[in-house]
Amino acid sequence: MLSKHRGELYVVLGAIFFSLSGVVVTLVLDHMTAFRLAQIRAIGAFAFLFLITFIQDRSSLKAERRELPTLIFYGVVGYAVVQLGYFISISRGIPLGLVSILEFTAPVWIVLWIKFVRKGWVSNDMWVAIALCLTGLILVSKVWQGFTFDLIGILSAVCSAISLAIYFLISEAQSAKRSAQAMVVWGIGIAGLFWLIVLPIWNFPTQILTTQINLQGRFSDYSAPGWLLITYIIIFGTLVPYLLVVAGIRLISASKSSVIGMLEAVIGGIFAWIWLAQSWGAIQLLGGAIVLVGIYIADRTKANAK
């Protein structure tokens, strides 16, 4: 059973790791800007994974000159721009719940691409699954509370969604050419280079590394040094989940992977409830259940536009 659904398992595990790291990210963001955190997680993850891959299988990192434009586009758009759009939306005052929902419209853009650009067949069940997942996320995040309209913020979140769709599609297209590990090295390495150009590294706020950061919520009696939390984000909030998701995309379609990835928002809410003691109402529980039903339907679809 596990071998049959290995792709789905990888994507679900990736969502779990991304979700848990989201709580840690909120702690760190009280002490540094989101852009600097994006920079250090990309550079740190690249340094770790490049060294491992270079030792294990350096040949997988080779790329022909004609492949470079695609790989550069993959890294800048599929990794850096996804985070950039997300962070700009939050900085413009768009509620986090609404930003998450807009970002998770990525499956819609993917199936639109498959149907109208690739001219592939998309099962009606996939559309139903996407609609259910988006409805569930709206209920989970309760976006109607504290909604603020800002055109730049909304457009940035939509840009993040389209970039996320591109990440899934290129990861799927490149799966036959190189390993998941090599794909993440290229993607996150290009993203790290992008952030180095945008934000000079010599201005990095190094004091964050020795700052004692309160763990808040149920663990408010404890603190941890910034370097430890950032290392956790780099390894378990970046490296591990990206490897799992890219490996999952190689086994199932980009459209299915993106829908299953919506589970991240639900799991993130559960972790926030456990760790930060953020309460969940009946309507949010209903939303989570609807998301799960949508993911189940998506996983059973035979339509794959590979």
> What confidence tens digit (pLDDT) does each residue in 56-85 have?
888 888 888 999 999 999 999 999 999 888
pLDDT tens per residue, range 35-57: 898 899 999 999 999 999 998 88
For the chain, the residue count is 306
pTM: predicted TM-score of the whole model, two decimal places: 0.84
**Pairwise CA distance, residues 303 & 293, whole Å:** 18
**Pairwise CA distance, residues 23 & 46, whole Å:** 22
Q: Is 119 helix (H, G, I), strand (E, B) or coil?
A: coil
**Pairwise CA distance, residues 30 & 27, whole Å:** 6
**Pairwise CA distance, residues 247 & 11, whole Å:** 8
Alpha-carbon torsion 204, 210, 212, 217, what sign?
Answer: positive
Q: Is 159 helix (H, G, I), strand (E, B) or coil?
A: helix
pLDDT of residue 92: 78
pLDDT tens per residue, range 90-107: 777 776 667 777 888 888
Q: Which residues contact 68 (CB under 8 A, 6 or more apart)?
A: none
Q: What angle do CA 269, 271, 272 make, to 5 degrees?
A: 60
Tokens for 134?
């988006």
Band (146; pLDDT cuts 50, 70, 90) = low
pLDDT of residue 95: 67
pLDDT of residue 303: 43
Tokens for 228?
């430890």
Least confident of 50-54, 133-137, 278-282: 278-282
pLDDT of residue 305: 43
pLDDT of residue 4: 65
pLDDT tens per residue, range 239-266: 999 999 999 988 888 888 888 888 887 7
**Pairwise CA distance, residues 120 & 123, whole Å:** 10
pLDDT tens per residue, range 200-227: 888 999 999 999 999 988 888 999 999 9
Contact present, 22 and 271 (Cβ < 8 Å) = yes
Tokens for 76?
């800048």
What residues are paired with 212 via a beta bridge?
Answer: 225
Average pLDDT over residues 136-164: 82
Residue 285 has φ and ψ, to the nearest 5°, of -65, -40
Quick check: 3 pLDDT over 70?
no
**Farthest CA pair distance, the chain:** 57
Residue 280 gets the label, from left (phi > 0), alpha (psi -120 to 50) or beta, of: beta
Which parts of the chain fold into alpha helices (H)? 6-28, 34-57, 68-75, 82-91, 96-103, 106-116, 124-141, 151-173, 180-198, 226-234, 240-251, 254-260, 263-275, 282-300
**Pairwise CA distance, residues 261 & 214, whole Å:** 30
pLDDT of residue 304: 45
**Pairwise CA distance, residues 157 & 195, whole Å:** 19
The residue with greater pLDDT, 145 or 26, is 26
**Pairwise CA distance, residues 208 & 91, whole Å:** 20
